[in-house]
Amino acid sequence: MSVATTPTLRQRLRDYHRIDEEQIVEELIARARFTHSEQQGIRQRATPLVQNVRDSRLKTGGIDAFLATYDLSSREGVVLMCLAEALLRIPDAETVDRLIRDKIGSTEWQKRLGASHSTFVNAGTWALMLTGRIVNLDTADRKLSGTLRRLVARTGEPVIRQAVITAMRILGRQFVMGRNIHEALERARNAEKAGYRHSYDMLGESARTSADALRYFDSYSKAIAAIGDSAAGRPPFIAPSISIKLSALHPRYEVANEDRVRRELLPAIKALAVRAKARNIGLTIDAEEADRLEMSLDLIEALATDHELVGWNGLGLAVQAYQKRALPVIDWLADIAHRGQRRLLVRLCKGAYWDAEIKLAQERGLSDYPVFTRKVASDVSYLACARRLFADPQAFYPAFATHNAHTLAAVAEIAISAGGSDEWEYQRLHGMGEELYDQIVGKDKLGRACRVYAPVGSHEDLLAYLVRRLLENGANSSFVNRIADADLPIDALIADPVEKLAALAVKRQSRIPLPRELFGAERSNSEGLDMNDKATLEDLRSAIKQSARVSYLAAPLIAGKQGSGASSRPVCSPANQRDVVGKVIEASTADVNAALAAAQAAFPAWEATPASSRAAALERAADAMQERLPELVALIVREGGRIQGDAVSEVREAIDFCRYYAAQAKEKFSAAIELPGPTGERNSLSLHGRGVFVCISPWN
């Protein structure tokens, strides 16, 4: 296989970051499309898997039964998410109690009781019903004595709070393998005997402080030692492994601090990798938000080519198929693996941050999204990536993370078409997909290995993970959600996503507008800067340097001419008093009077100017600011001492205000509004200017 040079591969990866979806989808369809024989094999594998899952899911419980009972689009499902968010984000007990009183007390938990055969679901319903009854005692049951009402009013909410926390601990056991690594390893023994493997992850979100990072490092180090002790000499691809999150190991894991991150984070990751090598276990780097991908690849390249890690095939990473860059990432990793003469474990997943990626791109006013807007496109990308991984067994040990029966069956068929290698595995999340994979794992089953992604930690660290999992799998398009719908035919559930995507005339989701089209026909969204793109940051730094060569003058402008003003004074940067940004001339009393007189004289003509022409002036101002955004950002950074991201937001806000008021002017001032005429008269309402006003604005 001919391999492109690394710089070329890296540039291709960047080119695909926010590529037009229509442009890339056809390539994915061509690379993922199944032969007729493969389609038949997939259908024959997937159909009994789905039927058996449906037959067993409510008996065994778990997340599948939970989602079947509490659809996240239902009232109760929303309340559960509110409670999880409350415990996650609200620091004081009083506010938690008020939310519980408001939300739990208004739901109908009793209707759910006994509706499920799952002990897990019924246990949760009993607890929720109990708290619901307590909350409603004061209002729903007027016959209770005043003493009881006062007792509940005095003690009810703290009791409820403890009940909810207890319920979340029960949920925690469902989703978390153990409170610590030793408990998790002990709990995993029976599953290992059945044929499962495990990859342990220390629960928690990104580090906010250096102390957080040190705590996570210590947690990972202890886990590596314990996992190594339990590996019993098995090779990395078979032994239990550890998954680490780079953002947990550094409080400023962001592109703007790339040099510092490489200087401080790389030694920490390498230390963990060296310990994993000494124990001969696998270490997989989890995928995170798209902004951090390239930075993580730089760190992985450094590890993969480090001489101290030569001879160890335990290094791995996750690749998210919902990113448009997924295939270029795999091509780049293949080059790294061949150059480092190692085999990388690649966990292929679909991705868990879709909602956030879409929202962030819209908020930032970026050119396009880093992820596909249709789930079916992510499914096709996953299949194309699977073929690519199987095509290079010297570079990759593939691991396919999925809870989708069609994807599971498709991967098996792709493996056969690629030569039938046994050196690959499935992966699933702890607490999810048991009914599906219990049909796969084990000598008396299909005999295929599956590794369980097993979070470890206390319930206090669970909630962010739990919310993400429920949002991801509770979505209407999720396979986990759809398989619970008994009215959905199996053929529809296991339909070929490649053919489905190919049949769509428009490949991108029309209901998700591009960031610049967020406000529809009314107005354009302001365009921002991708502050996590190296080239963009370099251009912005150049603009700031160029700004330093310009001497700016701020002075009154009256009827197109500079006012008389007083003498000028220098303006220095608050961040560096030696940086003289320019000079300012304050308006004099004469300037104020001249401005008022000019405005009074211009008012009649301005009032007679069509609304469209007045709006066009605002739109031209917005366009001019948009065109000179880097220069304006540089000026704000120097004059106001703002950080670059805040300066970008300030300019974008000004652009948005101009366009918003232009749109309002065209709507409100263009034509009179006809009002009802009850007795036959003609009534109309039109808006007109009231005259000249003086507005003294605050400095900010």
8 Å CB contact between 319 and 347: yes
What is the average per-residue pLDDT within 562-568? 79
What is the average per-residue pLDDT within 83-112? 60
Share of the chain above pLDDT 90, in %: 64
Question: Helix axis angle, 258-279 relative to 210-231, nearest 10°?
Answer: 20
What is the average per-residue pLDDT within 607-629? 96
Residue 463: per-residue pLDDT? 62
With CA atoms as reference, report the closest residue to 433 among 456, 460, 402: 402
Residue 465: per-residue pLDDT? 72
Question: Helix axis angle, 146-175 relative to 75-89, nearest 10°?
Answer: 80
From the number of C-beta atoms within 10 Å of its C-beta (0-12, 13-18, 19+), residue 588 rates as middle
pLDDT (tens digit, 9 = 90+) per residue, 285-322? 999 999 999 999 999 999 999 999 999 999 999 999 99
Residue 648: per-residue pLDDT? 97
Kindly tell me if the per-residue pLDDT of 623 is higher than 90: yes
What is the average per-residue pLDDT within 692-697? 82
Query: Is it true that domain 6-69+176-517 has CATH number 3.20.20.220?
Result: yes
3-class DSSP state of 587? coil
Query: Which CATH architecture is the domain 534-685 placed in?
Result: 3-Layer(aba) Sandwich (3.40)
pLDDT (tens digit, 9 = 90+) per residue, 10-52? 999 999 999 999 999 999 999 999 999 999 999 999 999 999 9
Ranges of CATH 3.20.20.220 domains, the chain: 6-69+176-517
Computed over every residue of the chain, the mean pLDDT equals: 85
1: amino acid identity, one letter:
M
Whole-structure pTM value:
0.85
| Dist. CA 540–CA 543, nearest whole Å | 5
pLDDT (tens digit, 9 = 90+) per residue, 655-682? 999 999 999 999 988 888 888 888 888 8
Regarding predicted confidence, which is higher, 86 or 551? 551
* The pairing of beta strand 396-401 with beta strand 425-429: parallel
pLDDT (tens digit, 9 = 90+) per residue, 525-562? 999 999 999 889 999 999 999 988 998 999 999 988 88
pLDDT (tens digit, 9 = 90+) per residue, 402-442? 999 999 999 999 999 999 888 999 999 998 888 899 999 98
What is the average per-residue pLDDT within 329-355? 95
| Dist. CA 484–CA 501, nearest whole Å | 23
Residue 288 tokens read as 């995170």
Q: How confident is the model at residue 523 (pLDDT cuts 50, 70, 90)?
A: very high
Q: How confident is the model at residue 95 (pLDDT cuts 50, 70, 90)?
A: confident
Residue 442: per-residue pLDDT? 83
Kindly tell me if the per-residue pLDDT of 195 is higher than 90: yes
Residue 240: per-residue pLDDT? 98
205: amino acid identity, one letter:
E
Ranges of CATH 3.40.605.10 domains, the chain: 534-685
pLDDT (tens digit, 9 = 90+) per residue, 150-178? 433 444 556 545 555 655 666 667 778 99
Integer angstrom CA distances of residue 625 from 31, 560, 561, 633? 43, 19, 21, 10
CA angle 55/58/63 to nearest 5° reads 120
pLDDT (tens digit, 9 = 90+) per residue, 233-290? 899 999 999 999 999 999 999 998 999 999 999 999 999 999 999 999 999 999 999 9
* The pairing of beta strand 450-456 with beta strand 196-202: parallel
Kindly tell me if the per-residue pLDDT of 100 is higher than 80: no
Residue 474: per-residue pLDDT? 54
Sequence-distant (≥ 6) Cβ neighbours of residue 35 within 8 angstroms = 417
Residue 87: per-residue pLDDT? 57
* The pairing of beta strand 673-675 with beta strand 683-685: antiparallel
8 Å CB contact between 151 and 134: no
With CA atoms as reference, report the closest residue to 137 among 129, 126, 124, 148: 148
390: amino acid identity, one letter:
F
